[in-house]
């Protein structure tokens, strides 16, 4: 079975849930502590052994490309002021992976963005990682996309990340019907985008991590256009499910929806609490704050 060596990150959306800041700042560049959201996604890919990454951007997203570029002026200042720690960090950004960019010409959905990756992926399997989703895993645990890649490399079938959600959140996600093959691996029989809770198959939701192969392009080509003029990636996955070629993996880790304001704030707090330099002080502040604000 072919190894998963490439990743595609769609990052062309407008980020309307974070207006007004996203009028001028890419949502993918909003910081969680001191790193852009997008960097957490790239680091997850690299930690999973994936070093070829295509980021699908749109208009007004040049700051994403600049972030991963060589910065000679900054490096010169850091060298001159002997800020070695920050200099090493800057050089790490430009050397951490082979990162390529392509612009989605029209913002007509996730499936269309994936089609832009065809020249990049060819006939190889690849990961698709949405920039809104951050998966934190404890030390010693496989990164989120590595868990899916391992399942794909064992089975040869498209594998999507699954998690349990409450009824109140069912309508926010793709929802699946399937049966367990093991503790974490599931055969998906049906998948539907954002159903009403009364129409749900289960409380199993699909989040923004996928490992697919080149057949996904054929599935997208066969998927009818929605009434909104978009091709839904979930509908393309549904065609694979009908053929018995779609698996779900209940990943190990904590997922944050960085496109949701409350989850974004939770991610900032929890990542800061895990930081050795910030955790103790922030924990003390939060305890003090809890007694002042009700």
Report d(CA 48, CA 150) in Å as an integer: 10
Residue 167 near residue 194 (C-beta atoms within 8 A): no
Give yes or no for a contact between 152 and 200, defined as CB atoms under 8 angstroms apart: no
Domains recognised in the chain with CATH numbers: 6-259 (3.90.550.10)
Rounded CA gap, 68 and 280, in Å? 31
CA dist 114 → 32, 41, 56 (Å): 26, 17, 8
pLDDT, position 294: 62
Direct distance between the N- and C-terminal alpha carbons of the chain, in angstroms, rounded to an integer: 56
| Helix residue spans in the chain (DSSP H) | 37-47, 62-67, 72-80, 84-95, 110-115, 118-121, 144-155, 215-222, 233-242, 261-274, 279-290
Q: How deeply is 25 buried, as exposed, middle or buried, from its count of CB atoms within 10 A (0-12, 13-18, 19+)?
A: middle
Closest CA to 10 of 125, 133, 159: 133
- Whether the CB-CB separation of 186 and 204 falls below 8 Å is answered with yes
Digitized pLDDT (tens) for each residue of the chain, 294 residues in all: 789 999 999 998 888 888 898 888 889 999 999 999 999 999 999 999 999 999 999 888 888 988 888 877 888 888 888 888 887 877 787 788 999 999 998 877 889 999 999 999 999 999 999 988 999 999 999 999 999 999 999 999 999 999 999 999 999 999 999 999 999 999 999 999 999 999 999 999 999 999 999 999 999 999 988 877 788 999 999 999 999 999 999 999 999 999 899 999 999 999 999 999 999 999 999 999 887 766
Residue of 148, 115, 154, 160 whose CA lies nearest to 12: 115
Tell me the DSSP string of 79-100.
Answer: HHTT-HHHHHHHHHHHHSSEEE
The mean of the pLDDT values for the chain is: 92
Distance CA 268, CA 282 (A): 11
b/e string for 198-218 if b means 16 or more Cβ within 10 A?
A: eebbebbbbbbbbbbbebbbe
- Write down the pLDDT at residue 262: 94
Q: What local confidence, expressed as pLDDT, does residue 92 receive?
A: 80
Q: How many residues does the chain have?
A: 294
Q: What would the two tokens of residue 161 be?
A: 């990340």
């Amino acid at each position: 079975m072919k190894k998963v060596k490439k990743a595609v990150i769609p990052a062309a959306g407008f980020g309307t849930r974070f207006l007004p800041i996203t009028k001028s700042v890419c949502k993918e560049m909003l910081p969680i502590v001191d790193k852009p959201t997008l960097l957490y996604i790239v680091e997850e890919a690299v930690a999973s052994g994936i070093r070829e990454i295509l980021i699908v951007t749109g208009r007004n997203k040049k700051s994403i490309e600049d972030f991963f570029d060589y910065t000679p002026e900054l490096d010169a200042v850091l060298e001159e002021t002997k800020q070695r720690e920050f200099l090493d960090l800057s050089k790490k950004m430009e050397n951490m992976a082979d990162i390529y960019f392509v612009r989605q010409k029209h913002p007509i959905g996730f499936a269309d963005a994936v089609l832009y990756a065809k020249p990049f992926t060819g006939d190889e399997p690849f990961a698709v990682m949405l920039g809104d989703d951050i998966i934190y895993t404890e030390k010693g645990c496989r990164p989120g996309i590595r868990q899916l890649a391992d399942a794909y490399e064992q089975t040869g079938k498209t594998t999507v990340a699954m998690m349990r959600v409450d009824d109140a959140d069912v309508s926010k996600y793709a929802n699946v019907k399937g049966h367990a093959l093991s503790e974490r691996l599931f055969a998906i029989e049906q998948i539907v985008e954002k159903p009403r809770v009364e129409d749900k198959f289960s409380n199993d939701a699909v989040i923004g991590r996928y490992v697919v192969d080149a057949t996904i392009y054929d599935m997208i080509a066969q998927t009818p256009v929605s009434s909104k003029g978009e091709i839904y990636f979930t509908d393309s996955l549904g065609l694979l499910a009908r053929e018995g070629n779609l698996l779900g993996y209940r990943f190990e880790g904590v997922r944050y929806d960085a496109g949701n304001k409350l989850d974004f704030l939770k991610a900032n707090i929890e990542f800061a609490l895990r930081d050795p330099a910030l955790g103790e002080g922030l924990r003390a502040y939060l305890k003090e704050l809890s007694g002042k604000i009700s």
